[in-house]
Structure formats: C-alpha cells, structure tokens
Chain A
Amino acid sequence: SAVISQKPSRDICQRGTSLTIQCQVDSQVTMMFWYRQQPGQSLTLIATANQGSEATYESGFVIDKFPISRPNLTFSTLTVSNMSPEDSSIYLCSADTRGQGAETQYFGPGTRLLVL
C-alpha cells in the first residue's frame, strides 16, 4: 500500500493569488495524479504527474493555470494560479503502485481550498 500526505490540509486565499499544494508518498511510485472534487461531486482528473517529464493534462485543464512538478518518485506539487472563487474545491493527490505488485490507486486526505 501507499500512504499519502498533503500540505496544506486547507487554506483560504484571496482572488488573484496562487497556492502550491504539496504531496508526499511514503514509497516510490510510478504514477501520481491530481484530482479536483467539487463539494458533493465525483472526482475529476486534472493531470498525471510524470517523473522527469511534463505533466499530462486532461481536457479543460492547462499548465499555465495548474503547473505541476514531479521532482522524484515520492513527491509532487500542484499550483493553483491566479485563483478565482470558481477554484474553490478539494484538491486530491493520488498515487498508483503499478509495477510494485498491484495496480492500485491510493489517495491523500485532500486540500480544501476556499477562494474569496
């Protein structure tokens, strides 16, 4: 299994500012993902964070708005740039253990973001 931690757990930010969310996994993992979850809704994939290369973004999400870093096999960051109230959401980091005996995806506790 994989244990995932995220920082910060929650934040209140002003419109126009940026927030960087950190994600740490307790073991090396091949793939890491970033999701957004609106209150009461399902999970929407923002991007796949690839180690050593640029992230792969899903339709509707762009690198300028959500830059992602993946410097090694246990860590990733997601930045929410130039925030607006529409960015208020829960941001979830996820990692999968493919190649390590099982193709299983685990999630962090989430970062609850409120933009005023």
Chain B
Amino acid sequence: GENVEQHPSTLSVQEGDSAVIKCTYSDSASNYFPWYKQELGKGPQLIIDIRSNVGEKKDQRIAVTLNKTAKHFSLHITETQPEDSAVYFCAASLGTGGFKTIFGAGTRLFVKA
C-alpha cells in the first residue's frame, strides 16, 4: 500500500523567511496530493492540492511542486508570517476508486516574529 514520508518533523523560521516541507510517496499510481494546515484545537484545513498532470501550482504565498519520476512533492511558503505557525500534513491518494488518502506524519512549523 501507499506510504508517505514527511520531513522535517519540526521547522522553525524567522518571520519573512521561506519554509519548505518535503514529502515522498511510494505508490506510483497516486495522482492526487493535498496539503493540510492544522491549527491548535482545529481540524485540518485544505490549503492547496496538486494533481499528477501538473508539476507546480501556486496560490499567493504558498506553492506546491510535484516530481512524479522521483515520487516526491514539496510545499513552499514564502514571506512567512506568525499566523502560518501550525502543523502541516501532506497526503497522497489515488483520487479515484477507493479514494483512500494516506497522510504524512506532519511538520510543526514555528514562525518567529
């Protein structure tokens, strides 16, 4: 079955710097890769996703890149702000059929003001 590894587990950056979180997946059939942000006491919120027919997607300060050959994808947050502090989860799924989403272990991001 699918396995998703996420690094780093903890990331601390200065406000205004960029943050990068990396994930690898094992099932080459996976074709949908969402990223979730979870703030303390809340459920995960979808912040951006990418499908296998696209190599990069951007939404304001966040971007995601996908390398299907290497089976890895990354989240990039530019100009970080204190409100970006949260736990971020990457995930992978087949997108169709059984639609089972496999989550990474999470990255705790601290943005220092």
Interface residues of A (CB under 8 A from B): 4, 31, 41-43, 45, 48, 92, 96, 98, 103-110
10 pairs of A and B residues whose beta carbons are closest in the complex:
A107-B43, A109-B43, A107-B44, A110-B43, A43-B103, A42-B105, A103-B95, A42-B103, A108-B43, A42-B106
Is there contact, CB below 8 Å, between B32 and A43?
A: no
Q: What is the bound-complex CA distance between A41 and B45, given in angstroms?
A: 16
Complex Cα distance, B71 from A26, in Å, reads: 35
Asked if residues B34 and A104 are in contact (CB atoms below 8 Å), the reply is yes
- With contacts A42-B89, A43-B89 taken as known, whether A106 is within 8 angstroms of B46 at the C-beta atoms is yes
Rounded to whole Å, the gap between the CB of A91 and the closest CB of chain B is: 10
Given A104-B49, A107-B44: A31 and B34 interface contact (C-beta under 8 Å): no
Q: Are B49 and A109 in contact (CB under 8 A)?
A: no
Looking at chain B's contact residues, the main secondary structure is: loop
Contacts A31-B99, A42-B103, A42-B104 given; indicate if A105 touches B89 (C-beta within 8 A): no
* Interface, chain B (partner A; CB < 8 A): 32, 34, 36, 42-46, 49, 89, 93, 95-96, 99-101, 103-106
Known: A4-B43, A105-B101. 19 other contacts (CB 8 A): A41-B106, A42-B89, A42-B103, A42-B104, A43-B89, A43-B103, A45-B101, A48-B100, A92-B44, A103-B93, A103-B95, A103-B99, A104-B34, A104-B46, A105-B46, A107-B36, A109-B42, A110-B42, A110-B43
Q: List 5 contacting pairs A-B, 8 Å CB cutoff, sorted by A.
A: A43-B103, A105-B34, A105-B46, A107-B36, A108-B43
B105 neighbours in A (Cβ, 8 Å): 41-42
In the complex, the answer to whether B103 meets A103 with C-beta atoms within 8 Å is no
- With A and B bound together, what is the CA distance between A96 and B32 in angstroms? 13
The CA-CA distance from A103 to B95 in the complex, in Å, is: 6
Pick the most buried of A41, A42, A96, A107: most chain B CB atoms within 10 A of its CB.
A42
